[in-house]
Amino acid sequence: MKLSIALCASAVTAASLPTREDGLPLSEFGQTTSVSQEDAAAGIDLGFSLNPRGDQGWPLDTFGEVHHVEPADARQGKDLGGNNFSVLPIFGPGHESSLDSWLDKSSRKVGHDANRFRQFKHKVGDAIEKIEDIIDDVLEPRYLHPKDLEPKDVEPRDTGDCANPAIRFEWDDYSTSDKQAYVGAIKCLINKPASGKFQYSRNRYEDFVRLHQSYAPNIHSQSTTAQTHKFLLWHRYFVWAFEQVLRDECGFNRAMPWWDEKKWAGKFAQATIFTTQYFGTLPGPTNGRGTCVTNGAFAGLQSNLGPGQTVNNLHCVQRAVNEQTTAQTGVNSYNTCLARTTYPDFHSCVEFTFHAQGHNGVGATMADAIASPGDPVFFMHHLYIDYVFRKWQLGDLSRRTTISGCATNNGCSPLTLDTVIYLGNICGAKCPDLPVRQLLRTLSGHFCYRYNY
């Protein structure tokens, strides 16, 4: 049985970085590596036959690639057999000739007159399903059908909702001071000793890489037809735990950021997170090899974990952007996944389209399905994945109260509200093993947060 998964490699202090700065051949990273589930679960060396490394990049095929499908195939339900993907109508950029043309079609029922609308609130990438998704207010509301006045994007207050949720702010709405505090807190974890709970981890940040590496066979699908639908739930908890450790152990006291990745489809290297002030630039491959991160807050970052299940394997954290791949993370994939009506279908769509393409588009360390958290941008990518998950849940109350699908990618034992999600006690008493019912909603159970839009 083959296992396809993707996550990040871990970090050690820059002090241990050798003087060379040329990246490894991209072929050593490759795509998300497929390994047998038995070998991955046992942590067996996956036979990468790597040479001794300092800061020299590896061939990209060493990393592999996160298993993915193209957005066009996802819309047609191709290569996702057994997951009941239906071809649903999709609205918005990429599916209508223009926003204006869709407004014109909608105007027949709302008596559209451009002068009546105070403000268009549509953000590029947001799924558009009805008129209030793009119009903030109407001067003459009698032109709207009553059902069109119902707020679509405001989560109904349900019994048990927390009263004062933490707000996660999109990176471009985050202040310079907040951005600096966030990357500074991550550097703090890199420079703290490991907890001792995770064998082979060399620092506190690597604890997260090792946890992900160890659990990878159970939290990623083997293929598009042999899946575990714990992926979204486990990573929601994982990213939340990362936030708690930043706060409790490194004094991070700001709102948590998230990255609206779809805004940068096809131009990740221009994104405002990839600057010398913050996460460092996003280079392409160097002579067919990964390019070490040499600037920004994480310049010279070293990882002891990965690719795959390998350990005690010191190397520089590397990137190798492919903008043809990042182009697949945009509005088409976003709208395609939001259009799915069942949790397994939505989950499969996310895991194999823009989730996988985001990993592969950044490349090298991020393309490694198992140890990808080694690149700190992993957490920004998965904060976006959780944002889309919550956005989908807002579409129907049942999506926040029920679950279905497979708990395992091997035999498909049922995923239920009582299925337990394990997190290795990585943030102590704050991170107990919990049933799905405690993790399904962001405003009740174990969590109390939402996103700023």
pLDDT digits (tens, 9 = 90+) for 111-122: 333 333 333 444
What CATH code is carried by the domain that includes residue 82?
Answer: 1.10.1280.10
User: Do residues 107 and 54 both lie within one domain?
Assistant: no
The pLDDT assigned to 2 comes to: 38
Residue keyed to tokens 């486990």: 234
Residue 287: pLDDT over 60: yes
Mean pLDDT of all residues in 147-165: 58
User: Do residues 262 and 181 both lie within one domain?
Assistant: yes
**pLDDT by residue (tens digit) across 170-216?**
999 999 999 999 999 999 999 999 999 999 999 999 999 999 999 98
- What's the predicted TM-score (pTM) here? 0.73
Residue 292: pLDDT over 50: yes
Mean pLDDT of all residues in 97-103: 38
User: Do residues 325 and 232 both lie within one domain?
Assistant: yes
Element (H, E) at 77: none
Residues 384, 273 contacting (CB under 8 angstroms): no
- Give Cβ neighbours of residue 346 (< 8 Å, ≥ 6 apart): 337, 338, 340, 392
Residue 62 lies in a domain: yes
User: Do residues 439 and 306 both lie within one domain?
Assistant: yes
User: Do residues 6 and 126 both lie within one domain?
Assistant: no
Percent of the chain with pLDDT over 70: 68
Can you give the C-alpha Rg of the chain in angstroms? 22
Mean pLDDT of all residues in 82-97: 31
User: Do residues 106 and 205 both lie within one domain?
Assistant: no
Region of 288 on the Ramachandran plot (φ > 0 left; ψ -120 to 50 alpha; else beta): left
User: Do residues 279 and 144 both lie within one domain?
Assistant: no
User: Do residues 137 and 279 both lie within one domain?
Assistant: no
User: Do residues 67 and 172 both lie within one domain?
Assistant: yes
Residue 392: pLDDT over 90: yes
Q: Which residues form the domain of 398? A: 2-87+165-451
State the Cα–Cα distance between residues 18 and 56, nearest whole angstrom: 9
Residue 311 lies in a domain: yes
Number of structural domains the chain divides into: 2
User: Do residues 207 and 105 both lie within one domain?
Assistant: no
Strand segments (E) across 297-402: 302-303, 315-316, 318-319
Confidence band (pLDDT; 50, 70, 90) for 127?
low
User: Do residues 227 and 340 both lie within one domain?
Assistant: yes
State the Cα–Cα distance between residues 370 and 352, nearest whole angstrom: 15
Residue 92 lies in a domain: no
Confidence band (pLDDT; 50, 70, 90) for 158?
low
The letter for the amino acid at 173 is D
- Give Cβ neighbours of residue 84 (< 8 Å, ≥ 6 apart): 342, 344, 345
Mean pLDDT of all residues in 380-388: 98
User: Do residues 249 and 285 both lie within one domain?
Assistant: yes
**pLDDT by residue (tens digit) across 417-452?**
999 999 999 999 999 999 999 999 999 999 999 999
